[in-house]
Structure 1
């Protein structure tokens, strides 16, 4: 009798009366097995306490049991949230996490990622926006047989390779809320050029304004780069202009807090002198004063779903895990406009 805890894959195959290859397919969650065979082999594994050797499996698969996050995103809190979600998804498994920053504007980005895949041989890759917008990089992962999932604001790929959020609809809701409480001079601090998320959030803002019959004038839109500093700069530009907004939708919380600082530098009270809405619902948004009204972006849940898609067999993740909804969180940074 094999001693519990010292068993091998050969012991599992012998006791289950299947081939070693079948046992390997069960361990690797292959879809090329009947459910009856899978359950039978898993029962034997449980009974004898077999624990797969990750080093041996890595050699056999020519892959390391690592989920790699490839990103070029200036928002530090976004990356922290992504890591939190992925770590939740791989908790209790043999998988680890690796983070690989890249420069999306580099002319050698494809070669850099190719070298990374060849050198590190990750089991799977999560491509974060705006890197996820690049079809060529997704195709590069596929050409190396590397599992990949793209996180984005719109569908860019087939469901098994995507986790999305709908940024346009919740921004429409947020701006409509500002309109409902009486604001008409509503400015926008948008995200970086080339980011799909920035384009989707601007589209939600513009649609809400159009639906309310409000014109978007050039002075009402200021550029941002998803950083605190760009929020301060954009906020000062809006508040120092000839026409001053009574409310601002800011495309992420980090910039929104920058706009708050800009308002305080100009002696403007929030929310009585200026209402502000952000996007992300980062932990800091509920800790600043006044607490920031913002769109809750389910980035932790999205990252967890991405990880589960990578480490699970086909068909094991519900289709609803492909698209997650954002929602407006109403706090203290919004009231009606000041009286003239």
Structure 2
């Protein structure tokens, strides 16, 4: 480890070599300038906890001054892994997946890692067999598991068995914080309930998502809790089963609008179903928000493009993907916030909600 006295000389040598634009620095150069072994530099680069803080800072200082970047192929050989990250997903909402994908790519920019996107059928009896083959064939460095795939404990156990790093994205904590991005969906749904109740709505309907999705369960739980805070309860007759798809939103909302005593407000557990509810309202000759207020969830790009613009609970999906990527691929030069494993939903109020008539 470099001593305090070596500091000025080390900096001078680093800056001198930095000035030679024709020369690309190697890990051996960094080790020599920092006065440590090549193995220690490798540990610092890969965020190993088995490095003294003083040593870590010294090595990072040299890396910054020289502009050294690790060679992905060399690192891959050292770890017997490719520099590939997998996104394993099963979600009927394509925008949800695309947003996560863009966020992961944001995190991987400049790291030498590439992203492989792998759709799956999480109900398939061959899921674990297929995922074992996927990870082993590609020699994946790690995987991002968004919901509902993240809720499969057998799949997580398989990743551990294979020694494949993973980060789970879910609506509630399900694992160690170091491998979780938590979105707290229930809090956002409670905000939606309070918003509608404060507008004077009492006959409020719910279009739920698939019951096998933890997000659907958490969003409904949060919504009911928010209603209870305002002295209201969810009428079972006003709950319709959706599938997180546009078509299911049309069907479910149409059934609600056909009721003799129809609801004055509807909370849809994602924006795709809320979009379907818009069409159903028009088919029944109803005006939004004059006749019915509608709230969605996710705040996907379509929310602001609908007319009238949709009130929705915003989840920063791209940020969640970026956070998962940053947790999966540590960068010693990147500042990581202490609460980087969780996000807070936010209700975005637009023109689709109004006071009850």
Instruction: Report the TM-score when normalising by structure 2.
Output: 0.89
Q: How many residues align?
A: 338
Aligned-pair CA distance for 1:328? 0.8
> Partners of 1:181 and 1:51 in 2: how far apart?
56
Are 2:245 and 1:227 equivalent residues in the alignment?
yes
Aligned 8 A contact 1:153 1:197 in 2: yes
Which of 6, 12, 23 does residue 30 from structure 2 map onto?
Answer: 12
Structure 2 counterparts to residues 187-226 of structure 1, below 5 A:
187-226=205-244
Aligned 8 A contact 1:239 1:263 in 2: yes
Aligned 8 A contact 1:30 1:313 in 2: no
User: Any unmatched runs of 5+ in structure 2?
Assistant: 1-15
Which of 310, 332, 347 does residue 328 from structure 1 map onto?
Answer: 347
Which of 238, 244, 261 does residue 243 from structure 1 map onto?
Answer: 261
Are 2:124 and 1:106 equivalent residues in the alignment?
yes
Which of 91, 94, 107 does residue 73 from structure 1 map onto?
Answer: 91
* Aligned partner of residue 300 in structure 1, secondary structure: helix
> Partners of 2:200 and 2:32 in 1: how far apart?
74
Are 2:159 and 1:141 equivalent residues in the alignment?
yes
Are 2:337 and 1:318 equivalent residues in the alignment?
yes
Aligned-pair CA distance for 1:230? 0.9
Aligned 8 A contact 1:5 1:50 in 2: no
Go from structure 1 to structure 2 and tell me whether the alpha carbon gap of 1:179 and 1:13 turns closer, same or farther (over 3 Å shift): closer
Which of 38, 45, 54 does residue 72 from structure 2 map onto?
Answer: 54
Aligned residue for 1:272?
290
Are 2:202 and 1:162 equivalent residues in the alignment?
no
Aligned-pair CA distance for 1:266? 1.2
Aligned 8 A contact 1:201 1:251 in 2: yes
> Partners of 1:95 and 1:173 in 2: how far apart?
38
Aligned-pair CA distance for 1:209? 2.9
Instruction: Report the TM-score when normalising by structure 1.
Output: 0.93
User: Any unmatched runs of 5+ in structure 1?
Assistant: none
Q: Deviations over 1:164-206 (max 9, x none)?
A: 0111122112112111111111000001111110001111222
Are 2:46 and 1:28 equivalent residues in the alignment?
yes
Aligned-pair CA distance for 1:39? 3.2
RMSD, aligned α-carbons: 2.1
